[in-house]
A and B are shown apart, each in its own frame.
Chain A
Amino acid sequence: MFYTYLRRELAGRRKQTAIVAIGMALAIALVIIVNSVSSGVQLAQASVLESVYGVGTDITVSQAPAAAATPGTGNGAPQRFDFGSADGAAADGTTTISRSRLTAERGTETFASTGLDSVRAVPNVSAAAATLLLSNSTFSGALPTRSQGATRPSTGQGAPSGQSAETPPTGGPDGAGGSSFSVDSFTVLGLNPADAAVGPLSAVTLTAGRSLASTDAGANVAVLDASYATTASLAVGGTVVIAGTDFSIVGLVSAATADSATAANVYIPLDVAQSLAALPGQVSNIYVQAASSTDINQVQADIRTALPAATVKTQADLASSVSGSLASASSLVSNLGLWLSLIVLAAAFLIAILFTISGVTRRTREFGTLKAIGWSNGRIVRQVGGESLVQGLIGGVVGIAVGLAGILVINIIAPTLTAGASTAVQAVGRGAGAAGGAGGAGGAGFGPGGGGFGAATQAATQSNIVLTAPVTVSVILIAVGLAVLGGLLAGVIGGWRASRLRPAEALRSIA
């Protein structure tokens, strides 16, 4: 009787069934699409983060830059290049100067590498690796040789000097007393090749040569980011100069994701990086892999306890560092999408409940009659609940179909989003500007105070990510669960109203 009555009611009241089912279907389709796009955005974020932080990195440890004891010093201070009067090579009235500096990347703080031991001692840490992120800046240029004249004092701004008022200026790269300078910067990451299983190099793809090996410790060998190598016209077998020291290029790597950059332009052994940067025993980041995903929060807390001064971030924290349209999409999904889903879902539930209550009211005589012939409250509640549940399930099935179709459309369109990780690789290209003569003894001082003395090499940090909307079993289960929930909710409320009908009053009300 239950199924016969159910089938007849749903078939006999097609309009109500269709409206409730369509409302539920729209809500569930929206939930599926938003959930799926959200998963896609998370995958894209993970992809971006992996290209920078490495596969399997659950936690990163760094240290916030401390305020410099003396203004103008520290990692955040402008770089300076000081030259003495005897520096440079003079020829044909032109003095050529060049100087490289390898310093900790601006905005990062180094800390003792013993922190790595502390992290490894934390329970449920399966792997950890330390790196030192450096910036190699080379200032080079040409200016008129000072011996060309001394009738005018040096301006200290790279201006021609030594030109007499009566004699036209000569020398310099243009032969008329002018000067030209350029600044070339690239990032250098020192890492221990033995720990490459976790950290930046774990996510890259070797495109030429070989990666760094344990035997490379102490050797002047380098692996280059393939994009940077192309930009700088470097190749395996060649040489890259870091802080005035020649390094043999042994390999090229690229990010796993097309068009994205790796964590640094150049990778060298950690001990060599520390030595060249005069930062012995210092690191800037520790990459941590937890034993399992459920341990991540506890490991994060334990590391914070072990290293109180450190900044300890999980992948979820790092996701906030992803910028670009991917971040906009993430924000859109998590805010508008989520709320839209909830509102539509609530509206669908409300429609189902109101229609069920309306149906019960319209069927007062029917339920009164059934009670009069001996139907129990439970039987009537089951009947009303069953009808609502099936309406919800019909909506769920249609909603899943519509949702899957929507996901298919998204995957066919495959929108491309731009993304960048703002914390690990910072744009290092800066124009070099005059910072005033402070060289002493007639020398010149240069710093990145602004201006444009030649183009600096800039690391590409933007990535293009194709957004995909994956379909998971959990999404389908959520949809079915929502359909059942909506149907049950409407059924319980409608059934409750039907059960409260007293047969005598129900029959009297229609007499």
Chain B
Amino acid sequence: MYQLTNVTKKYDQGKRSVTALQDVTVSIPDGQMVAIQGPTGGGKSTLLQMLGALDRPSSGSVLLETEHLGSSNLSSLGDSQLGRIRATEIGFVFQGFNLIPTLTAQENVETALAPLGGTNAARRERSAAALEAVGLGDRLGHLPAELSGGQQQRVAIARALVKDPTVLLADEPTGNLDEETRDEIMDLLEGLWRAQGLTLIVVTHDSAVARRAQRRLHIKAGRLTELA
């Protein structure tokens, strides 16, 4: 579970300081599906970076407690320790898919397993299974450019889930997709969330996506509020 306490994040932009998060305090239990909404520049992505161990707050604490890890204060860990947590506990899905263009679908999924060690054969087997789970068992050798947007996002979801993370963070996962594909991707994510017992946190502008979540948070000018 996550426990954020008085998290503030400030960025220096030239001579002025911009506050992206202001005294954010929130608790997210294990296995919950949470949607974070808010206007552009409100602090959604910054909050997601705090949750994803990609950045540290200027003040406050971000606690992550998992079965494998125990309790970790992400605000006080070094780069290598944060990297290790990202490698084992957190999966990411990005709006732009962020696949490596020169690698095939299967090889892209394997990149998430590279930091965990293991044999090439084991990695290939797990990546193939992950792609099978997202319905791309017949596209293992395709390059991203040979796949549709929806298929590329499926590959990205497979890459996020292949390592069996505790948390799945999705930043506008359907932002680049049409409505039909959006629903397919959300159905897939929701299905995997239910099946694997993940904590799923989705940042979205799309109310249709947000309505699927158990819990909706709204962030504006760096301040987080709970929506009914």
Q: Using CB atoms and an 8 Å cutoff, list the residues of chain A in contact with chain B.
A: 1, 4-5, 8-9, 11-13, 365-366, 368-377, 379, 502-504, 507-508, 510-511
Contacts and interface: CB of A to CB of B under 8 A. Distances in A.
Contact of B94 (A9, A13, A369, A377): A369
Contacts of A375: 83, 87, 111, 114-115
Contact of B103 (A8, A368, A376, A511): A8
Interface of B: 45, 49, 52, 54-55, 79-80, 83-84, 86-88, 91-92, 94-96, 98, 100-103, 107, 110-116, 120, 123, 159-160
Nearest to B52: A372
B55 A379 contact: no
B111 A1 contact: yes
Contact of B54 (A12, A376, A379, A507): A507
Given A370-B111, A379-B114, A504-B49, A5 B103 contact: yes
Contacts of B91: 373
23 contacts: A1-B113, A1-B120, A1-B123, A4-B107, A4-B110, A13-B102, A365-B96, A366-B100, A369-B94, A371-B83, A372-B92, A373-B115, A374-B86, A374-B115, A374-B116, A375-B114, A375-B115, A376-B115, A377-B83, A503-B54, A503-B55, A504-B49, A511-B95
Q: Please indicate which of the listed interface residues A9, A375, A507, A511 has the most CB atoms of chain B within 10 Å of its own CB.
A: A507
A157 to B, nearest CB: 95
Given A1-B111, A1-B123, A374 B84 contact: yes
A368 B96 CA distance: 13
Contacts of A511: 45, 95-96
Given A5-B100, A373-B159, A510-B96, 19 more contacts: A1-B107, A4-B110, A5-B102, A9-B102, A11-B102, A12-B101, A12-B102, A371-B83, A372-B54, A372-B92, A374-B86, A374-B87, A374-B115, A376-B83, A376-B115, A377-B83, A504-B49, A507-B94, A508-B45
A16 to B, nearest CB: 12
B55 A504 contact: yes
Contacts of A503: 54-55
A-side interface mostly: helix
A5 B83 contact: no
B39 to A, nearest CB: 15
A350 to B, nearest CB: 25
Contacts of B100: 5, 366, 369-370
A238 to B, nearest CB: 84
B96 A373 contact: no
Contact of B88 (A9, A370, A374): A374
B123 A365 contact: no
B55 A373 contact: no
B14 to A, nearest CB: 16
Nearest to A383: B114
A41 B9 CA distance: 69
Nearest to A510: B96
Closest 8 interchain pairs by CB? A374-B87, A12-B102, A504-B55, A369-B98, A504-B54, A8-B102, A374-B115, A1-B114
Contacts of A12: 101-102
A508 B54 CA distance: 11
Contacts of A365: 96, 98
Contacts of A13: 102
Contacts of B95: 511
A365 B87 CA distance: 17
A369 B101 CA distance: 12
B164 to A, nearest CB: 13
Contact of A373 (B49, B92, B103): B92
Q: Please indicate which of the listed interface residues A369, A373, A377, A379 has the most CB atoms of chain B within 10 Å of its own CB.
A: A373
Contacts of A376: 80, 83, 115
Contacts of A502: 55
A510 to B, nearest CB: 7
A6 to B, nearest CB: 10
Nearest to A366: B100
Contacts of A4: 103, 107, 110
Nearest to A503: B54
A373 B87 contact: yes
Nearest to A369: B98
B146 to A, nearest CB: 13
A5 B112 contact: no
B13 to A, nearest CB: 12
Contacts of B112: 373-374
A368 B52 CA distance: 13
Given A372-B54, A503-B54, A504-B55, A379 B102 contact: no
Contacts of B123: 1
A68 to B, nearest CB: 83
B107 A8 contact: yes
Contacts of B88: 374
A259 to B, nearest CB: 62
Q: Please indicate which of the listed interface residues B55, B79, B96, B98 has the most CB atoms of chain A within 10 Å of its own CB.
A: B98
B155 to A, nearest CB: 12
B115 A379 contact: yes
A340 B115 CA distance: 45
A115 B57 CA distance: 86
Contacts of A368: 98
